[in-house]
Structure 1
Amino acid sequence: MTTPTGLTTLPFSAHPIRTDRLLLRPLTENDIDDVFAYQSIPEVVEFLPWPLRNHEESREHTLERAGFTQIENDNDRLVLGVELVGADGQSGPVIGDLSVFLASGPNAQIEIGWVFHPDHQRKGYATEAARALLELAFGEIGAHRVFARLDPHNTASVALCQRLGMRQEAYFRESEIFKGAWSDLAIYAILRREWEDEI
């Protein structure tokens, strides 16, 4: 049995990742309108710690998150825009974004999150992007465990976690006040060896 080690790949910098239909890459100023398109939809932000944003607020938020391109210390994060790529290889809109949080470098723990425009849901894009995100977390960053925290009433995210092979580790009843009301919290996670079995 090998001796456990923390992350040895830090600092880690974001880079573009191509999947069959998507390009995952750091956000840029050119993505502001696309990001605003989903940050301004009530059903999108219902389960996110964000308010509805006007265009200027979305612009500021996008530019801030465009700077999240490296993880080195605990609580650092990466943010990757999910760009739709046409069959001809031409760039399309950014239809969502993915987050990678360094929860603990010494314990090789990574938290992930996602948000997608509802017009592009139920087409397999979220699963395709999130699988690539797990591959990044386990393969390149070297995580031992990857987890997601979500409201268990967010059925789309619960289903995505299950498609990824993540298991529910915890369910906390009314554990926090979220947007003015008591909210439940679920933890879904997958270990490196479980991910390797999945693939």
Structure 2
Amino acid sequence: MPLPWEFREPIQGDRVSLDLLRPHDFDALYAIQSDPEVCRYLLYEPRSPERVRDVLDRDAAATRLAAPDDYLQPAIRNSAGQLIGTMYLRLASVPDKAGELGWLLDPRFQGRGYAREAAGLLLDLSFGELGLHRVFAELDPRNAASVALCERLGMRREAHFREQMWFKGEWADTGVYAILEQEWSARRA
């Protein structure tokens, strides 16, 4: 793996790009992260403006992958440059060449393939330039949209942990989906 790796340039897709978060993204990010429906399956409750500002500052500075738990949280931007969501790529293990993938999309832009394209860009980066072997996603299996996205990306369900965590006042399950480099390459061929 060519580490350290630094996020320096936007990653361009057909309809979306992945780019660094910027201070002017605050309003759009706050609208997403304060929405109770968006947060329903996330590990946090709807966020206050102060918390979103702190998270924006923290995640905008996350540009380098060098050691386990380093992460990127790039903005998903549409062709007009508008923030429509964020992606997440965490370096889970250097020796095992493993990463974790996640996403958050403004509900106004869901169902149009933007998350799939953005996730595909991060998988291309993960298995290409970064040289990862395996990428996984952990999610609440009740989140049908995220499960469907994993399946559209070719990720397979590897685990379903029943009542694994106390989550927002109830026991919740955790699903794990994953894809290997050779599986992603075969899909892209």
TM score, norm. by length of structure 2: 0.96
Q: Is it true that 1:129 corresponds to 2:118 in the alignment?
A: yes
Offset from partner CA, 1:138-172 (integer Å, 9 cap, x none): 01111100000001000000000000000000111
Identity percentage of aligned residues: 45
Structure 2 CA distance for aligned equivalents of residues 196 and 22 of structure 1: 21
Larger mean Cα displacement after TM superposition, 133-142 or 46-55 = 46-55
Shift of 1:56: 2.3
Which position in structure 2 is the counterpart of 1:117? 106
Shift of 1:53: 1.4
Q: CA RMSD in A?
A: 0.9
Which position in structure 2 is the counterpart of 1:107? 96
Which position in structure 1 is the counterpart of 2:13? 19
Offset from partner CA, 1:98-124 (integer Å, 9 cap, x none): 010111001100001000000000111
Q: Is it true that 1:9 corresponds to 2:6 in the alignment?
A: no
Report the secondary structure of 2:183's partner residue: helix
Q: Is it true that 1:179 corresponds to 2:173 in the alignment?
A: no
Offset from partner CA, 1:66-103 (integer Å, 9 cap, x none): 111111111111110001113xxxx2x20000010111
Report the secondary structure of 1:141's partner residue: coil
Report the secondary structure of 2:67's partner residue: coil
Shift of 1:64: 1.1
Query: Which protein shows a greater Rg?
Result: 1
Match of 1:37 among 26, 31, 34: 31
Shift of 1:59: 1.4
Structure 1 CA distance for aligned equivalents of residues 149 and 181 of structure 2: 18
Amino acid at match of 2:139: L
Q: Which runs of 5+ in 2 are unaligned?
A: none
Which position in structure 2 is the counterpart of 1:94? 83
Structure 2 CA distance for aligned equivalents of residues 161 and 121 of structure 1: 14
Structure 1 CA distance for aligned equivalents of residues 48 and 67 of structure 2: 32
Q: Which runs of 5+ in 1 are unaligned?
A: 1-7
Q: How many residues align?
A: 187
Structure 2 CA distance for aligned equivalents of residues 110 and 164 of structure 1: 15
Match of 1:190 among 164, 167, 179: 179
TM score, norm. by length of structure 1: 0.91
Shift of 1:60: 1.5
Structure 2 CA distance for aligned equivalents of residues 181 and 71 of structure 1: 35
Which position in structure 1 is the counterpart of 2:152? 163
Structure 1 CA distance for aligned equivalents of residues 170 and 63 of structure 2: 33
Report the secondary structure of 1:148's partner residue: strand
